[in-house]
Structure formats: C-alpha cells, structure tokens
Amino acid sequence: MSAADDNWWTFEQALSYYQHVISNYLSWHDKGHVLAGGCGGCGGPKHIEDTGYLDTAYTFGKTIYTAQD
C-alpha cells in the first residue's frame, strides 16, 4: 500500500481493517505487507521511485507464493 505522507498513523485504519476483517474473516494466512509512506503525490510531486519501496515490493512479491503453499 502506498501513501503520499509518512505519518505514524497513515496506514493504521486500512491495515487494521485488512488484518481483523478481511484476513481473519476469510481465514487468510498473512505473509506480510509493504507500507510505502512518503511517496508524494496528492497535489505534490510523486517520488516513489526515490524511496526504494518499488524494489522492496518486488522482492517481497516474489516470496509470497511457494510450491509448498
């Protein structure tokens, strides 16, 4: 998930909803998440390319599925 700002509370509500409602209700096994705050936008310049989050998300994405799942 990405956001323009990087306040400590930026992802709090969305992540709580995901963990407690969607993941628990559907009995999903959560393998983690990438919270990319401070990526700009919302009226300011976008600069996600400068944050390292794209590489982090790509690397994480390659670990989500394994043949044992």
pLDDT tens-place string over residues 26-56 = 888 888 899 999 888 777 778 888 899 999 9
Q: Give the mean pLDDT of 9-22.
A: 90
Residue 4's contacts (CB-CB under 8 Å, 6 or more residues apart) are 38, 39, 40, 41, 42, 44
The pLDDT mean for the chain works out to 87
Domain ranges in the chain are 1-6+33-69
Q: What percentage of residues in the chain have a pLDDT greater than 70?
A: 96
**CA triplet 58, 61, 62: central angle to 5 degrees?**
95
Instruction: Say if residue 68's pLDDT is above 70.
Output: no
| Residue 22: predicted pLDDT | 85
